[in-house]
């Protein structure tokens, strides 16, 4: 199996764990916890900031010693906006499942002292990107424009069956602002219906990295560098939760020149 593809380790508890050390990079961390009703997960953020995203289910959240109440509620990541909480460095957090919960824990280096923020549905903008069979639907959970985080960028994307996304191919692997920013990235994938599959290619200009990945329900893709388009096959919608971070909290990407003409269609 490709080192860029992380499969769930089980069906309960912490089923995905990606750290900078395991990924061989510097910034992005990602975990997925599956909790049955009544179960609790908790942690300290330490030198990292965290965005908790309720992929599905409802839970009670405590952070920084404060009870933040119940949040979440959607039964599928294909239904409406998620609930999310930003927890800065040197804090504690816990989530107790009220119903079965899938909780994503997105993390990156904490650089300053910040406030805990409940990211409500009203704060999450939504947009449609692309045209024709390159159309996809985006929910901005933690965008660079919000001023909430030091490093983290978090977004959800739904790509309808038969469509492409992260396309035309683009990359963000050079620290060369204002033209391009260096951002590591993870994709947590879900499919609807769940038995479907999709494809993702991760490749560099010189093809020193060039892999085509079979995307099945629940896997996570690592994108350390290079272009990384996705293709959803007919009949199966593709969801992914993106986590990005780097030395600057800016998303400036570079389109692969030979395919940039597609933007004009």
Task: Determine the Cα angle at 96 with ends 28 and 139, to 5°.
Answer: 45
Tokens for 55? 């992929």
pLDDT tens track for 112-154 = 999 999 999 999 999 999 999 999 999 999 999 999 999 999 9
pLDDT band at 250 (very low <50, low <70, confident <90, very high): very high
Instruction: Identify the CATH homologous superfamily for domain 5-264.
Output: Jelly Rolls (2.60.120.10)
pLDDT (0 to 100) of residue 84: 98
pLDDT (0 to 100) of residue 106: 98
Q: What are residue 132's phi and psi, to 5 degrees?
A: 55, -130
pLDDT (0 to 100) of residue 7: 97
Q: What percent of the chain has pLDDT over 90?
A: 98
Annotated domain spans of the chain: 5-264
Helix (H, G, I), strand (E, B) or coil at 84: strand
pLDDT tens track for 162-205 = 999 999 999 999 999 999 999 999 999 999 999 999 999 999 99
Helix (H, G, I), strand (E, B) or coil at 248: coil
Mean pLDDT in residue range 17-33:
98
| CA atoms 201, 202, 207, 211: torsion sign | negative
pLDDT (0 to 100) of residue 1: 73
pLDDT band at 47 (very low <50, low <70, confident <90, very high): very high
* Rg over CA atoms, the chain: 18
**Complete edge-to-edge strand list for the sheet that includes strand 83-87:** 13-18, 29-35, 101-109, 48-56, 83-87, 117-119
Q: What percent of the chain has pLDDT over 70?
A: 100
pLDDT band at 264 (very low <50, low <70, confident <90, very high): confident
Indicate if the pLDDT at residue 265 is higher than 80. Answer: no
Q: Which residues share a beta bridge with 182?
A: 173
Residue given tokens 């965005």 in the structure block: 51
Average pLDDT, the chain: 96
């Amino acid at each position: 199996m490709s080192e860029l593809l992380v499969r769930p380790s089980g069906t309960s508890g912490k089923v995905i764990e990606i750290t900078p050390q395991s990924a061989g990079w510097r910034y992005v961390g990602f975990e997925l916890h599956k909790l049955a009703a009544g179960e609790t997960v908790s942690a300290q953020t330490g030198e990292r900031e965290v965005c908790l995203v309720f992929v599905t289910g409802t839970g009670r959240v405590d952070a920084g010693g404060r009870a933040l109440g119940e949040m979440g509620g959607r039964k599928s990541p294909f239904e409406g906006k998620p609930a999310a909480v930003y927890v800065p460095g040197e804090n504690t957090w816990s989530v107790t499942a009220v119903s079965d919960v899938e909780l994503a824990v997105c993390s990156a280096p904490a650089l300053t002292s910040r406030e805990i923020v409940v990211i409500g549905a009203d704060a999450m903008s939504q947009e449609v990107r692309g045209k024709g069979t390159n159309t996809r639907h985006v929910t901005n959970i933690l965008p660079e424009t919000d001023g909430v985080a030091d490093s983290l960028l978090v977004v959800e994307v739904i790509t309808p069956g038969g469509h492409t996304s992260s396309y035309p191919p683009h990359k963000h692997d050079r620290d060369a602002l204002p033209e391009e920013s260096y951002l590591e990235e993870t994709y947590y994938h879900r499919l609807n219906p769940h038995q479907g599959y999709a494809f993702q290619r991760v490749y560099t200009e010189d093809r020193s990295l060039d892999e085509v990945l079979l995307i099945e329900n629940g896997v996570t893709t690592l994108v350390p560098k290079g272009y990384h388009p996705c293709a959803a096959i007919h009949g199966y919608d593709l969801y992914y939760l993106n986590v990005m971070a780097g030395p600057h909290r800016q998303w400036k990407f570079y389109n692969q020149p030979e395919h940039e003409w597609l933007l004009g269609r």
